[in-house]
Each structure stands twice: as C-alpha cells, then as structure tokens.
Amino acid sequence: MARELSKIINNWVPKESKVIDFGCGDGSLLQKLIQTKNVLGYGVEINNSKIEECIAKGVPVIKQDIDKGINEFESSNFDLSIMARSIQCLKSPNLALERMLNLSKRCVVTLPNLGYWRCRLNLASGKMPVTPELPSSWYETKNIHLCTIKDFEQLCIDQNIKIKDKVFLNSNGDSGILASINPNLFAIEGVYLLEK
Amino acid sequence: MKSITKLINFSEGIALESGRRLDSFDLMVETYGELNESKTNAILLCHAFSGDHHAAGKNEDQSIGWWDQIVGPSKAIDTDEYYVVCCNNIGGCSGSSGPTSINPNTKKAYGSDFPIVSVSDWVNTQKMLMNKLNIPHWHFVAGGSLGGMQALQWSIAYPDRIKKAGIFAAAAKSSTQNIAMNEVARESIRKDKNFHNGNYIEQNVIPKNGIKTARMLGHITYLSEKHMDLRFGRKFQDDASKIDKEVDFEVENYLQYKGEKFSESFDANSYIIMTKAMDGYDAAGKKDSLDEALKEIKAELLIVGFYSDWLYPPERGKEIQIAAINNNIKSSYMVLDGEHGHDSFLFHSEQYSKIIKKFIQS
C-alpha cells in the first residue's frame, strides 16, 4: 500500500479502536495500525497465501468472501471498517457500503477513479482504459464496478452517507494540488472517511 | 526425536463433572522433545474420539502416531523446538483409566460402571498432568474434532495457563446430526448380543460386531463424498482379497477391514463414553451463550475448518470465530479445501502446516 494512503488512513484511526479491514491483503496496513495505534484489528481476506502472511505477522485474519455478505460481524461493535481498493471488485458495492456502516460507526473507503484523464483519453480513443493504476484488460479485470469520483459521491448522497473527510491522490500517490482542485479529472484514487 | 511414554498415577483422584469421583486414576502419557529452561516451549496435543497418547513417530509396535504428519522434527509442530505432550484421555482404552481398568474398590474391571466423563473432565486431568510435569503454561494447545473441543475448553477453563489454541475441524458443540450419528453407532453396540449391558468383560466376550458396525458408520462420516469417489469409485474388490464373501465393491471391503481392525482394539464401553462426551460438550455452558462463555479467554485462537468436512463443517468454526471477535479475542479463522473430509485435520498439506507453524511462532 502506498505510503501516503496508509498515512491518511492512520490519521483517521483512533487509538486503541477496534478495526476490521475488508480485503486486508497481506495485513500490512493492520500491522502498522496495531504497532502505531495499538488497535485491535481483524483482517478479512479470501486469498490463502495472503492469509498465511497475515498469520505470520500475527495479524488476526478471517477467511471469507466479502461478496457473500458481512452481516455476521454486526454484533461485534467495531469502531471502524476499512475497505481499501476493493469496493469496485464487489457484486454490490452499494450494499457493502450500507453494511459496513451498520457494523461500525465509521468506515474508510478508497477507490480508483475512472474519471482520471488517462482513462478518459483511453475511452476517447475508443478503448477500455488500461492505465498503470488499472492495468488489467476488460476481460480479466477484477474491477467489475468501476466509477468516477463524481459517481461515488453521488452514491453517498443517494444513500444518506456523510463524507466526513476525503483526500485525493495523484499518480505519484501524493495529495497534489491538481488532484484536489479537480479530483474527477486529476485524481487516480479517492480516499474517504464515511459516516451514516 | 526424543520420545518418552509413561503411565502416571494421580492418587489424589478427581471429582468429575457428573458428580461422581475417581479416587485414583492413571494417564498414559507420551512426550516428544525437551522442556526448555525457561519452560516456555510446552505444547499439549488433545486427541480426537479414537486417538490416544501416541501422536508422533513410531512406537514399539511400529505403529505411527495419529498426528505424525503434523508433529515431529521440522514439521508444523516442531519437536526440535517444542516440548510436546499428549495423553490418552480417561474413559479411553489405551492405558489411561477407563472401563477396562481395574476398579481399585472392587478389584474388578469397571466395565459399564466407569463414570461418564466430559470434555471438561479431560481438560481438568490434563491440567493436573501439567502441574505434575512442572509446566507453568502451554505455549499452544491443539487438536482436531473432539481434540479441538478440548483446545477450546482449555482456553475457557484456564485462561492464564495457555497462550495459544489451535481448534481444527471442530465446533463449540456437537450438532443434532452429530448426536444422531453417534446414537446409531451406540445402538449397534448396545444391541450386540455380547454386550451384556456393558459387563461383557466378566462374560469373557466382546461385542465385536456392534463395535465394527459403529466404526463402519463412523468412517463414512469422516470421509467426504468426493474423496470416497476418488479413492474407491465403483471399483469391484478382487475375489482374492475379499474380507467377507458378501463384499462386492472396494469401498465395502475397506469399511469391513477398518471396522474389523478397530473392533479388535477398541473397547465398546469406551466407544460409548467417548461419543457421549462429544455429544455432551457445549462450550456455551449453563448460560447457553457462547459469547458469555468466551469472555475470560486470553489465549490467541487459530480456528481451521475444511470445505470437505460435513461432520463438523467450517461454519461451526466460524461460530467460534464470531464469538471470539465479539469478545475482542485475537483470533484467526481459516478454511482449507482438505481432501479427506472430517479427517483432513490429520493430514499434512503445505498450507495447513505452514499456517500452524507460523501461528505458533508469531
């Protein structure tokens, strides 16, 4: 995970909070949060080798397909749920958002921006975007629900979800000026802190 | 691998959950490796229904331990690094006090008079063993199936004496279907004409047919449909190696063979006692709330289920995981394919062994 991204998320995570990270990968974000914020963290991951890496790091992890539902964690009183770069891979991103906000007061969501100028250029040339951030061809991508920054913020409005904070990252992974002036065109990634 | 097998007597006896008492009892114990100076490297293995103290390596009879694929030098549970302890549980028939032991009060075999024991009773005897071996805490307590229930019970009953628990192919309680299967097995034993209400030792007979049928049924529940299909298919048994002339298919012959072998070594009363303990276990306890029951746990948990296991399917492990999260317990839940159905916990696979090893080390 890009350093800037984990720094932002780090800022939003309260000390000693209870955190669940959906699509936690090798557990490095949680490991960092455990070390720096002393959180009680759980990862959710579907890939066995990634799970193995979490266990090696001492990061508690749960094998699960997020698409099959996350309702069972609703009784666990999480302070924060995180879904970094995964929501666009889900069958129902809107339902996932609802559920994350049912099981924790706040959630952090990061997503790639299909409105990024490079993507638009690709489309203008008549082809599906293939960029460094979205490197897979249309037939093999896991990103089945890509959207633009505008689309996502509209969804938040439609679902009565409050955007408490947001940061836009440029292609260097920094929160650059252009990306913050016109994120829909210049940001490659949106990072959101959401609340119901 | 340094391995020691010995019988340890506990003359102080134990008060059992059922209210009855054993005034004195024995545990047959096997240990591997050595306890380090700081006494921080002890691991307890809890055996499943028909297991015993012999978990790893070859014993005098050249028989290989029940968890030899997982336990040994450089294996997932590394006997070069850890001091590994395994005991036969009371009520069993492999050396520890059980229905075939002599009742010191009557000087006769207990037979059907051996008291009903529970998972908690086993954990309590293992704790007494721990004290006798001068082990301050277990670094890891692990087991599969009924053994996994003991690992869970350890973390509930003695939170200060256990650092990590491995709960594999197990559940916080037996399902209705588990109990139903066990009852069919018990019925076949009880209705064997040689059972004599459990006092067959006095009659100098054993209810061999009953035990055999029970084990045949058990075996079907331990394997997955796919695994049975792959292993036996609809192949016919060749005449020369047929155990019984009634046998047609290979799978029949296999079950006949396994049942026959088991009935020669396993005690019928033990079969009943062990399955009753399995059926009776409910980690949720008297309050009937798993969330409540797990409150005091301090150990980190590793829960592993197998997709091919329909006897204790992965969802049962997930229930423990959710209750653990609700109680802020550091706990991981993994599901592996496992080719061997419920028995998968016994077998090495690269991922299974790695996860166990890394969990112990982390």
Count contacts between A and B (CB, < 8 Å).
52
Judged on CB neighbours under 10 Å (0-12, 13-18, 19+), B244 is exposed
For residue B286, the model assigns a pLDDT of 87
* Residue B209 and residue B159 share a domain: no
Q: How is chain B split among helix, strand and coil, in percent rounded to 5?
A: 40, 20, 40
Q: Are residues B87 and B113 in the same domain?
A: yes
Same domain, B295 and B160: yes
CATH number at residue A89: 3.40.50.150
Residue A165 tokens read as 């904070």
How large is the average pLDDT for residues B118-126? 98
Residues B183 and B249 in one domain: yes
Nearest chain A Cα to B303, which residue? Answer: A62
CATH number at residue B257: 1.10.1740.110
Q: Are residue B205 and residue B294 in the same domain, yes or no?
A: no
Asked whether residue B157 falls in the same domain as residue B183, the answer is no
Confidence of residue A174 (pLDDT cuts 50, 70, 90): confident
Say what percent of chain B tops pLDDT 90.
96
Q: Domain check: are B65 and B197 in the same one?
A: no
Tokens of B334: 């993994």
pLDDT at residue B63 is higher than 90: yes
Domain count, chain A: 1
Residues B157, B141: one domain? Answer: yes
Domain end, chosen from B242, B276, B310, is at B276
Is the CB of residue B29 less than 8 Å from the CB of residue B129? yes
The widest CA-to-CA distance across chain B, in whole angstroms, is: 60
**What pLDDT does B337 receive?**
93
Residues in chain A within 8 Å Cβ distance of B321: 62
pLDDT of residue A175: 85
Q: Are residues B89 and B203 in the same domain?
A: no
Query: Which residue of chain A is at minimal alpha-carbon distance from B356?
Result: A55
> Alpha-carbon distance B323 to B167, whole Å?
14
Please check whether residues B155 and B251 belong to one and the same domain: no
Q: Does A79 touch chain B (CB under 8 A)?
A: no
Instruction: Determine the distance in angstroms separating the CA of B48 from the nearest CA of chain A, rounded to an integer.
Output: 25
Give the contacts of A126 (CB within 8 A, at least 6 positions apart): none
Q: Measured between beta carbons, which residues in chain B are less than 8 angstroms from residue A48?
A: 334, 336, 351
Domain boundary among B227, B257, B276: B276
**Mean per-residue pLDDT for A63-70?**
92
Average pLDDT of B191-213?
96
Please tell me the least confidently modeled range out of A9-13, B113-117, B183-187: A9-13
B109 has a pLDDT exceeding 70: yes
Residues of B in contact with A42 (CB under 8 A): 325
Read off the pLDDT of each residue in B86-108 and give the average, rounded to a whole number. 96
Nearest-by-CA chain A residue for B352: A52
- d(CA A194, CA A163) in angstroms, rounded, equals 5
Chain B residues whose beta carbon lies within 8 Å of the beta carbon of residue A55: 302, 332, 334, 355, 358-359, 362
A52 contacts on B by Cβ (under 8 Å): 351, 354-355, 358
Model confidence over A106-152: pLDDT tens digits? Answer: 999 999 999 999 999 999 999 999 998 899 999 999 999 999 999 99
Residue A88 C-alpha, separation from nearest chain B C-alpha, in angstroms: 25
Q: Which residue has the higher pLDDT, A174 or B136?
A: B136
Percent of chain B with pLDDT over 70: 100
* A128 reaches B (C-beta below 8 A): no
In this complex, do A55 and B359 lie within 8 Å of one another by their Cβ atoms?
Answer: yes
- The Cα–Cα gap between B80 and B32 comes to 9
**Where in the sequence numbering do the catalytic residues of B fall?**
145, 309, 342
The confidence score (pLDDT) of residue A5 equals 81
Report the mean per-residue pLDDT for chain A. 94
User: Per residue in B209-246, pLDDT tens?
Assistant: 999 999 999 999 999 999 999 999 999 999 998 988 89
Domain containing B204 equals: 178-276
Range of the domain at A47: 3-195
Residues B71 and B164 in one domain: yes
Q: How many domains does chain B have?
A: 2
Boundary-marking domain end, from B209, B244, B276: B276
B287 or B219, greater pLDDT: B219
The 3-class SS string of B90-107 reads: CCCCCCCCCCCCEECCCC
pLDDT above 80 for A1: no
Whether A74 has its CB under 8 Å from any CB of chain B: the answer is no
Which of the residues B332, B336, B353 would you substitute to probe the A interface, choosing the one with the greatest number of A C-beta atoms within 10 Å? B332
Residues B165 and B185 in one domain: no
Query: Given this model, what pLDDT does residue A173 score?
Result: 83
Whole-number pLDDT of residue A7 = 85
pLDDT 10s digits, B304-336: 999 999 999 999 999 999 999 999 999 999 999
Could you tell me if the ipTM is greater than 0.90?
Answer: yes
Q: How far is A129 from chain B (nearest CA, A)?
A: 36
- pLDDT exceeding 70 applies to what percent of chain A? 99
